[in-house]
């Protein structure tokens, strides 16, 4: 009876060790920060991230709707996208920067500049023990 009990304890401990030591697959999260040429965050910038159309890129082209993401940055110029797979992504940014300038007669006029930026990033689904699989990228609009 003691032998049977010891066997159950060893079996249970073996199961626990194997279950918790296995690496978990984590899907990638792409965190993008958009800034202008002076390094000022770009709130409200429109960010579009999608798989590269370049067939020569590492890996295969993924034509999944879940891999094509569009959104607007927050007040700090940041946005995050969660993806299902590894991919090489094109990231395009459009930002309409509004400033007030002197009209030369003591008044102010509003001026809007259209700025854009582009970056190619690679994200990967990896097996790891940590809880996150984040990719942080900075895109400058000009």
Residue-wise pLDDT for 19-45, tens only, equals 555 656 678 999 999 999 999 999 999
Residue-wise pLDDT for 120-134, tens only, equals 999 988 765 667 789
Domain membership flag for residue 109: yes
What are the angstrom distances between the C-alpha of 122 and each of 33, 35, 60, 61, 114? 16, 20, 12, 12, 27
Domain membership flag for residue 12: no
pLDDT at 55: 46
Structurally, the chain folds into a number of domains equal to 1
Domain membership flag for residue 14: no
Q: 32 with 120: CB under 8 angstroms?
A: no
pLDDT at 86: 87
Domain membership flag for residue 71: yes
Contacts of 47 by beta carbon, 8 Å cutoff, 6+ apart: 32, 34, 70, 71, 72, 73, 79, 91, 92, 93, 139
Please tell me the pTM assigned to this model.
0.73
Which residue range forms the structural domain that includes residue 98?
24-140
Domain membership flag for residue 15: no
The answer on pLDDT for 14 being more than 60 is yes
pLDDT at 8: 75
Q: Which whole number is the average pLDDT over 39-57? A: 83
- In the DSSP assignment, the letter for residue 73 is -
Domain membership flag for residue 10: no
Domain membership flag for residue 3: no
pLDDT at 112: 93
Helices and strands counted in the chain (H then E): 1, 9
pLDDT at 136: 95
pLDDT at 6: 72
pLDDT at 105: 87
Residue-wise pLDDT for 58-94, tens only, equals 444 555 678 899 999 999 999 999 998 888 999 999 9
Domain membership flag for residue 11: no
- What's the CATH number where 109 sits? 2.60.40.1120
């Amino acid at each position: 009876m003691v032998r049977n009990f010891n066997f159950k304890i060893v079996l249970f401990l073996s199961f626990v060790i194997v279950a918790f030591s296995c690496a978990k697959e984590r899907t990638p999260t792409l965190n993008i920060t958009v800034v202008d040429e002076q390094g000022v965050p770009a709130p409200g910038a429109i960010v579009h991230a999608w798989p590269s159309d370049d067939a020569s890129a590492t890996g295969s082209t993924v034509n999944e709707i879940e891999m094509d993401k569009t959104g607007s940055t927050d007040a700090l110029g940041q946005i995050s996208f969660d993806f299902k797979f590894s991919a090489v992504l094109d990231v395009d940014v459009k930002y309409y920067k509004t400033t007030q300038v002197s009209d030369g007669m003591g008044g102010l006029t509003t001026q809007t500049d259209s700025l854009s930026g582009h970056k190619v990033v690679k994200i990967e689904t990896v097996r790891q023990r940590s809880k996150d699989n984040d990719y942080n990228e900075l895109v400058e609009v000009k």
